């Protein structure tokens, strides 16, 4: 029997899954070089996303250096030393743009929302004050507007259900929330969702006569 190694649509896009990272991070395991937290205290959603992005960057930098090592060995130069390896990883890491990894915060929010719907994460009750960027405060002050009241930063931790949930459910919380769409291809499902929306047709702009 011949098995094709070509991945399905969306395969080979991440060195590790978003769900796996969230669970390991909230368990206090410090996945992929991220900081270790206290599981009972939990963490803020924005901080989890930030460390997830940095972990992806580190993984990409390490994969690049591993490829360089293979090329050096093929060329008969020998592999990097530990010091050289660390320097090359740091060199690549500092040159990766923050937005290179196609994981936007909005997508992460949706993913986290499904975890809350499943009851796998819960607020701890601890909050801290958040702030807006300085340029936003400055622009509002110059316009004579009141300071913008930002929502508090809430801490989340894993529930017992979240800890005991199997890996395959963590890898796809959307299907776990809505098993009725499990047999529908992803493209067809989201295409159908778009058809349900009512879009306003853009009005044509007036063409100005050309000046002689």
Q: What is the pLDDT of residues 38-58, one digit of tens each?
A: 999 999 999 999 999 999 999
* Residue ranges per structural domain of the chain: 18-179
Top-confidence residue, 178 or 22: 22
Task: Please tell me the predicted confidence (pLDDT) of residue 129.
Answer: 82
Task: Say if CB 158 and CB 27 are below 8 A apart.
Answer: yes
Predicted TM-score (pTM) of the model is 0.73
| Residue with token string 């939990």 | 42
Give the 3-state secondary structure of residue 87: helix
Tell me which DSSP letter residue 169 carries: H
Sign (positive/negative) of CA torsion 38, 126, 109, 163? positive
Confidence of residue 3 (pLDDT cuts 50, 70, 90): very low
Q: Output the pLDDT for position 126.
A: 92
The backbone torsions φ and ψ at residue 122, rounded to the nearest 5 degrees and listed phi first, read: -145, 155
CB atoms within 10 A of CB 177: 15
Residue 63 above 70 pLDDT? yes
């Amino acid at each position: 029997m011949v098995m094709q190694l070509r991945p399905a649509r969306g395969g080979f896009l991440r060195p590790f899954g978003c769900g796996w990272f969230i669970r390991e991070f909230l368990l206090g395991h410090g996945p992929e070089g991220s900081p270790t937290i206290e599981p009972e205290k939990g963490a803020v959603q924005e901080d989890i996303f930030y460390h997830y992005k940095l972990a992806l960057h580190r993984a990409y930098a390490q994969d690049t250096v591993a490829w360089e090592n293979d090329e050096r060995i093929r060329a008969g130069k020998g592999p990097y030393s530990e010091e050289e390896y660390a320097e090359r990883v740091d060199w690549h890491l500092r040159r990766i743009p923050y937005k290179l990894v196609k994981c936007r915060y909005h997508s992460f929010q949706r993913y986290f929302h499904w975890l809350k719907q499943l009851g796998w994460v819960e607020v701890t009750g601890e909050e801290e004050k958040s702030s807006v960027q300085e340029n936003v405060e400055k622009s509002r002050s110059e316009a004579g507007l009141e300071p913008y009241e930002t929502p508090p930063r809430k801490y989340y931790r894993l529930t017992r259900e979240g800890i005991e949930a199997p890996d395959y459910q963590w890898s796809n919380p959307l299907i776990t929330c809505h098993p009725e769409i499990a047999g529908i291809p992803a493209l067809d499902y989201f295409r159908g969702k778009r058809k349900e929306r009512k879009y306003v047709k853009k009005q044509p702009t007036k063409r100005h006569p050309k000046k002689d």
